[in-house]
Amino acid sequence: MCMELIMAKVNDPIVINGKTVKNRLTMAPTVKFDMAGADGFVTPEHVQHYAERAKGGFGLICVEATAVTSDGRFAPNHMGLWEDAQTEGHKAITDACHKEGAVVLIQINHTGNTANPMFGQAKGPSAVEVWNGNHSQAMTLDEIHSMQNSFIMAAKRALDAGYDGVQLHGCHGYLINQFVSPKTNLRTDEYGQDKSLFGSEIIRGIREMCGKDFIISIRTPGAEPDIDHMLVVNEKYVEAGCDYLQVSHGIDSFGNITKPEDAPYSDLCALGVNFKKAYKGSVPISCVGGLMTPELVKYIIENDLTDTVDLARSALADPSYAGAILEGKDYVKCFECKACQYGPGTGHKCPAAMKRGVY
């Protein structure tokens, strides 16, 4: 007897490592540069920002990229979890989001060879030319192991702060991504031969430190330089204990993707769609990229193209965007400005926020 395949709806819950996320909508991690100070502490503005999106209906909130060491920040005004004293502020975020019924992860990160020069010599897997025309230094084995421990201890602080899990920032050209990419990892030792090893050992360490019920996600490139390489890498991440793959872009990220000519979604979104096809439901997959209308979000979920969607600019423009998708409520659409008010020192005022009467 042929049984009809039942497709998920955006309102359907999904269980990730034993925790029930009430719908398929995730707020993607987006850094709020002008909210933090040089100490990396959470501010009341951070708490309000995430509480509003949780109240707006997002099933899962992923708090912005948060530095695991003080020299791994994007800029001086960048949130951190590199010391115990920073933990208490994060608890205010988790309490506020949990009050609204959201599951809460935090993205932990190190910039690696893209480090801001004000924090000293940039270091990564190998000595390569970096974005500012300078050259990074290759990390020693001791530095690699120390950095892995910094990620693990940041995850422990996240657990202590009440987060349901962490998302490793493994894409967008930062340190974990640098170990994955053949362009930036030229090593001949074990960390060059197995380009998943740096991240896999961090995942194993977090699992041992934080327990079996702690969600471990990774934001990972869908192609680096192609999907075949990344499927091998992410299989090893999953074997190490990763529960959830949230797919974005990396350093060299659009090789051999497949996408129907009439697909209404972006090439970036297609990276996650390709992962969904490859994993066939064995691990939850999320996609991101230009999901600016409720109709498109529903299309992605209800055609089984991904398990969850990560929403960034649309969630910044209107904290209630989730309600527009789930309940058909009115919302203010992102104006897709070239400069965003949440970028570093732009001074730009979000026209969507102005339309909502924030200013």
CB contact at 8 A, 126 and 138: yes
Domain contains 337: no
> Rounded to whole angstroms, what are the CA distances from 86 to 90, 141, 160, 216, 254?
7, 28, 11, 21, 37
Specify burial of residue 62 (Cβ count, 10 A radius: 0-12, 13-18, 19+): buried
Predicted confidence (pLDDT) per residue in 15-41, tens digit: 999 999 999 999 999 998 889 899 999
CA torsion sign, 275 to 276 to 280 to 284?
positive
Express each pLDDT in 277-299 by its tens digit: 999 999 999 999 999 999 999 99
Angle at which helices 141-160 and 87-99 cross, to 10°: 50
Q: Write the pLDDT tens digit of every residue in 114-160.
A: 998 999 999 999 999 987 787 899 999 999 999 999 999 999 999 99
Question: Side chain identity at 297, as an amino acid letter?
Answer: V
Is the model more confident about 151 or about 77? 151
Tally of domains within the chain: 1
pTM here? 0.96
Given this model, what pLDDT does residue 5 score?
Answer: 55
pLDDT tens digit sequence for 96-105: 999 999 999 9
Confidence of residue 341 (pLDDT cuts 50, 70, 90): confident
Determine which of 199-203, 247-251, 340-344 has the lowest per-residue pLDDT on average: 340-344
In the numeric block, which tokens belong to residue 127? 């000595």
275, part of any domain: yes
- Rounded to an integer, the average pLDDT of 164-180 is 98
**Domain residue limits at 218:** 14-331
357 lies in a domain?
Answer: no
What is the CATH number for 322? 3.20.20.70
CA distances from residue 146 to 59, 85, 219 in whole angstroms, order as listed:
34, 20, 22
Domain assignment present for residue 300? The answer is yes
Indicate whether 214 belongs to any domain.
Answer: yes
Separation of alpha carbons 306 and 300, rounded Å: 6
- Please say if the pLDDT value at position 6 is more than 80: no
Question: Is residue 222 included in any domain, yes or no?
Answer: yes
Identify the pLDDT of residue 3: 40
- Portion of the chain with pLDDT greater than 90, in percent: 86
Is 2 domain-assigned? Answer: no
Q: Give the list of residues 6+ apart from residue 4 with CB closer than 8 angstroms, or none.
A: none
Q: Has residue 268 been placed in a domain?
A: yes
- Residues shown for the chain: 359
Q: Are strands 25-27 and 285-287 parallel, antiparallel or unpaired?
A: unpaired
What integer best gives the mean pLDDT of the chain? 94
Who's near 131: CB < 8 A, 6+ residues apart? Answer: 114
